[in-house]
Amino acid sequence: MIPEVVHLLTLLGLLGSSRIAVGSSPTSVDWYKIFLVVGMAIGVNLLYAVGRLKLTDVDKMRRYTQELKAFRSEMTQAMREGDKQKQDKMKKKQQQMNKMQMEMSKEQMKPTFLFMIPLFGLYYLVSGYMNCNTLTFICSHSVPLITVPIYIPYIFAAATVPFWVWYFVCSFTFSTLINRLFGLTFDY
């Protein structure tokens, strides 16, 4: 790997160090840490999905989403056609749609606020447990590192990434799947 790229990724915090197994199989992959973070991401997303089911009106959210989608479609069509009368009619309806969107945002924030503090606590506990290999920033905060098996042929087979990067990768990966399983996607 080009030294400048490694240095840039290290500065950005994407690589905790330049410890990369170039062109070989990873020998020091932290499997228990990897699966601990994957399990944490799945657990948090499952808990959040159940919270969304219990705290939000899913049918109302779907209905609002459909109305907003239809409104945007009509507005776009009116703009394309240059129909001023229809555009004026849609602009009058804009305020109602903004209010509906604000209400949707408020509904979606309910479970977020409820689970935010416990999630930070869990993150703090797990990151403290994984503190055996750390990267220290200028502000003297220690960030746990995980060696993950990222295979890109002829470039590298393992990389050391900060704990929070691996958590977000896992969380984004499983959140979509879990939301679909629980029927929490509002775009038909």
Q: What is the pLDDT of residues 100-144, one digit of tens each?
A: 999 998 988 888 888 888 888 887 787 777 754 444 444 445 566
Q: Is the pTM of this model over 0.85?
A: no
- How far apart are the C-alpha atoms of 108 and 1, rounded to whole Å? 43
Q: How many helices (H) and strands (E) does the chain have?
A: 5, 3
Closest CA to 65 of 110, 98, 104: 104
The dihedral sign for the CA sequence 137, 141, 146, 150: negative
The dihedral sign for the CA sequence 73, 75, 79, 81: positive
Question: Degrees (nearest 5) of the Cα angle 112, 116, 121?
Answer: 160
Instruction: Report how far Cα 2 is from the mean position of its chain's Cα atoms.
Output: 29
What is the identity of the amino acid at 115?
F
Task: Give per-residue pLDDT as tens, 45-56.
Answer: 999 999 889 988
